[in-house]
Structure 1
Amino acid sequence: MSLAPILLFTYNRPEHTQAVLDSLSKNKEAIDSVLYIFCDGLKENSSEENKSKNKLVQQIISSENRFKEVKITIQTKNKGLARSIIDGLNTVFLEHEKLIVLEDDLILSPFFLAYMNDSLNRYKDFKNVGEIGSCNFFACGKEFPTYFFTNMPDTWGWGTWKDRWNKFNEDAVFLYKELEKNNKMHAFNTYGAYDMEGMLKDQIFGKVDSWAIRWQAVMVLNNWLCLYPNPSYSNHIESINATHAKINMVPPLQNNEPTFETIEIKELKNVTEAMQLGYSGKGDYFGKLSKKYLKKKTKKILKSVLLFPLPYGIVAFFKKNKPKK
């Protein structure tokens, strides 16, 4: 099986960089894999602390030797995450037909590379598959299949092919208009569960700089689906220093020897419902109402009861439903 090159994007989190490299190296395919590491440059007027952390990250990646080959790019200026990822993929795709993408805030299963490489080879000729994802955070557990497809792309350990990435479009205005013209905004919004449209508008007006929201629009416009595993082959390192990820999802991780299979490329109702529940903020990793949401809902009900005591409620009920003469 041909192994896809791995891209790792780093900046100023030495502990996280070391953690993702350590977990990646525990995959048996690591020793035969080419690893590209991109370290972003410092922002203007960076603090001494940031300078020190960035320098330490450079030292960590420069000493990495657990892979077939390690190719390092250290930027002289700060590009930001979106520009770094877009440029990095464009560069590596000049020489390769498929790749795996990682950021420095992930922990990986020892079977991550086996899953990613098998799936990239298995589905390369299925043109309705746009991406292979590894972090399943809303449809884990026995109620869901071992593998499934959704229209929501994954950004926490993922892979794709050159011909799919060639359709990536940076123009958020164009993407927005195309979503509206093709009546795909509802699907883009996780079928109404999350305001992805608002995020795309923020991209248009410069309030955010996200490659992911634009990639998601491209996925939806092309009717592509993303493969997910159950359970995850990657999860997110909880970090108060995370620049973009504020939720800190840590789903169950796959630690048993997996088996792989080709499945029908279609969306499943129970998976879609679990994704809707999760993106709406009401669901947990297992497609059920989360304890946090239930606690909030119960608190709201109790507050309502306290504001309108039971006897008053009973009187109001009978007044409202008094039989007509």
Structure 2
Amino acid sequence: MTRQFAPVVLFAYARPDHLRQTLTALAKAEGARKTTLWVFSDGARNAEAEANVARVRALLKEQNWRSAFQSVTVVEAKHNKGLAKSIIGGVTQVIAEEGRVIVLEDDLLVAPEFLTFMNTALDFHAQNAAVGSVTGYCPLPQPPKGYEHDVYAVPRSCSHSWATWRERWETVDWSGKGAPRLWREKALRKRFMATGSDKLDRLRRQLERRIDSWSIMFNLWHVINDRVAIYPVRNLVRNIGFDGSGTHTRAHDRMHTALSGSGTALTLNLPPEDPRVLAAFHKAYSGSLPGRLRRTVRNWRMPAVFSSLDPLDKD
């Protein structure tokens, strides 16, 4: 039986140079010619961005991309939707038709084996309700000593490449009405924070509408519904957006982004959660001590933020 590759959904805004690198790397990945590519190009948020948005759209019209993939569909937004609405809307549109998607943004370079790993993981975990998503990114330079698996199971979804299935995606609540459970249930809050002290602060800022994030709500869905994300032990995705060019990424927000050298195929399974892995993720995502302390102080406002949500989730 011929294997069906999941479509790749790529979100672009106003970084034509980054986008060209992203498309070039993706086109070189194993399986690219069997992959349908959807590109959602957001509209300019101000006059300053108009020229670069136009350059992005001109780049997407270049014919070489048509020969690199099975097909290419470009959706151009007439107005600026912002990151969250663009991603939620684009993924919802494609996943409704295709049943599963692999998602990238315009500052990610993938390794040659990226598509193979992501499609294999989507097939392997399709019927495993404990898995909410998979990613090709790994924030850890190396696994803990003696770790025997090729993947990690972690209660934290990833925005540096990810994939999921329609049955999972359609159950995500983007309103945040379940968030108050984190304050009422200490064990749930502990699990939410187990992979980084940044998460509660990001959730607060999203609920206060200070940021435009879809990913923290997807994180919340994973934890509330007791789902995990599958990460490879070898990093297959490099983020080139930590140069200050991104709308939502600051130049100093640096993570492990070195691509791992090509090696043997990664063996898939659903490993038990390893406390050493969770601790390593927590360290990687929590940042410096001053940053952690500032978040702790800011999070004192959480009860007030939760009480303002209407209606409160009573589950």
**Shorter chain as normaliser: what TM range?**
0.7 to 0.9
Distance 1:100 1:51 in 2: 28
Partner of 1:102: 104
Say yes or no: does 1:187 pair with 2:195.
no
**Is the contact made by 1:24 and 1:108 (CA closer than 8 Å) also made in structure 2?**
yes
**Is the contact made by 1:236 and 1:248 (CA closer than 8 Å) also made in structure 2?**
no
Distance 1:263 1:28 in 2: 22
What SS class does the counterpart of residue 152 from structure 2 fall into?
strand
Relative distance call for 1:58 and 1:248 in structure 2 (3 A) is farther
Misfit runs of 4+, over 4 Å? none
What SS class does the counterpart of residue 207 from structure 1 fall into?
coil
How far 1:273 sits from its partner (Å)? Answer: 1.4
Determine what percentage of the aligned residue pairs are the same residue.
27
Unaligned 5+ segments in structure 1 are 284-292, 294-325
Distance 2:202 2:33 in 1: 39
Distance 1:187 1:202 in 2: 19
Partner of 1:42: 44
Larger Rg: 1
How far 1:276 sits from its partner (Å)? Answer: 1.7
**Is the contact made by 1:190 and 1:279 (CA closer than 8 Å) also made in structure 2?**
no
Partner of 2:235: 232
Which stretch shifts more, 247-256 or 28-37? 247-256
- 1:1-325 aligned at under 5 Å gives the runs 1-43=3-45, 45-47=46-48, 50-63=49-62, 64-65=65-66, 66-138=68-140, 140-141=142-143, 143=145, 144=147, 145-172=149-176, 174-183=177-186, 184-190=188-194, 193-237=196-240, 238-246=242-250, 247-281=253-287
What TM-score do the two structures reach when normalised by structure 2? 0.84
Distance 2:279 2:204 in 1: 25
Distance 2:199 2:106 in 1: 24
Count, aligned residues? 279
How far 1:8 sits from its partner (Å)? Answer: 0.3
Partner deviation per Cα, 1:246-292 (whole Å, 9 max, x = no partner) = 21334331331431323234211211111122122269xxxxxxxxx
Distance 2:201 2:107 in 1: 25
RMSD, aligned CA? 1.9
How far 1:142 sits from its partner (Å)? Answer: 6.8
Partner deviation per Cα, 1:157-205 (whole Å, 9 max, x = no partner) = 1101111111111112x021233345411211236x4042222121111
Distance 1:41 1:179 in 2: 36
**Is the contact made by 2:174 and 2:217 (CA closer than 8 Å) also made in structure 1?**
yes
What SS class does the counterpart of residue 244 from structure 1 fall into?
coil
- Give the counterpart letter for 2:161 in structure 1: G
**Is the contact made by 1:239 and 1:248 (CA closer than 8 Å) also made in structure 2?**
no
**Is the contact made by 2:11 and 2:87 (CA closer than 8 Å) also made in structure 1?**
yes
What TM-score do the two structures reach when normalised by structure 1? 0.81
